[in-house]
Amino acid sequence: MANLDNPRGLVPLMQNNEAPKLSRYYHSAATAIFKGDPVVKTGTAHTDKDSTPIAAAAGADGVCTGVAAGYAKASAGTYILVYDDPLQQYVCQCDTGQAAAVTDIGANCDFVAGAGSTTDEKSDYELDLSSATTTVTLSAKIIGLDKRVDNVIGAHADLIVTLNTSTEADNTLGI
């Protein structure tokens, strides 16, 4: 049975029967943010002291604040909800060129940035397994295989990951 090639960014998992934590951020960047995109704080000022500005993270950015829970148009100057708990787990598909192996579990890797879809407003980010190694500064840590009957180790596998370099975790580098 082959896995379906269906990139959709990072999809949060419910943990301990609790809904994932969401926080509100401000988006004013020139690029759109799609549901499931990793995002990062921009470090710029915003007049609303309760909302920190964010932008979509680059695929190999390393540092992420969280994952967008919705869609924000480019330069929209809108608010967006973000899953920003540093312990949050997500499901993310492996990129086309790589087949997941059991030996990838426990490794760190970057993301491959996709173009996103304005039709269904979802992300096209995937895991870049060609970057899988022990390097601590890579974006994601692979926890395991998403255990569904339609998902197997191999090409286009859905893996469970956490953000390895979250700006919201203790003892991490600042932005």
Q: Which of 77, 90, 22, 31 is nearest to 58 (CA)?
A: 31
* Cβ pair 10, 38 in contact under 8 A: yes
Is there a domain that residue 150 lies in? yes
Q: Which of 13-17, 29-33, 48-52, 79-83 has the lowest mean pLDDT?
A: 48-52
The Cα-based distances of 76 to 5, 69, 82 in angstroms read 31, 16, 16
55 part of a folded domain: yes
Count of domains forming the chain: 1
Predicted pLDDT of residue 57? 81
Give the separation between CA 53 and CA 27, rounded to whole angstroms. 6
Instruction: Look up the domain containing 28 and give its range.
Output: 20-163
pLDDT interval class at 56 (50, 70, 90) = confident
Q: Across residues 134-156, what is the average pLDDT?
A: 90
Above 60 in pLDDT, residue 175? no
Place of tokens 């596998």: 157
Share of the chain above pLDDT 70, in %: 88
Average pLDDT value over all residues in the chain: 84
Q: Is residue 108 part of a domain?
A: yes
Report for 72-76, 82-86, 169-173: range of highest mean pLDDT: 82-86
For 131-143, write each residue's pLDDT tens digit: 888 888 888 999 9
- Structural domain includes residue 133: yes
Domain presence at residue 10: no
**Token representation of residue 20:** 């994932």
44 in a structural domain: yes
Give the DSSP letter string of 44-84. ---S-TT-EEEEEPPTT---B-EEESS-B-TT--EEEEEE-
pLDDT at 62 over 80: no
Q: Is residue 175 part of a domain?
A: no
Residue 24 inside a domain? The answer is: yes
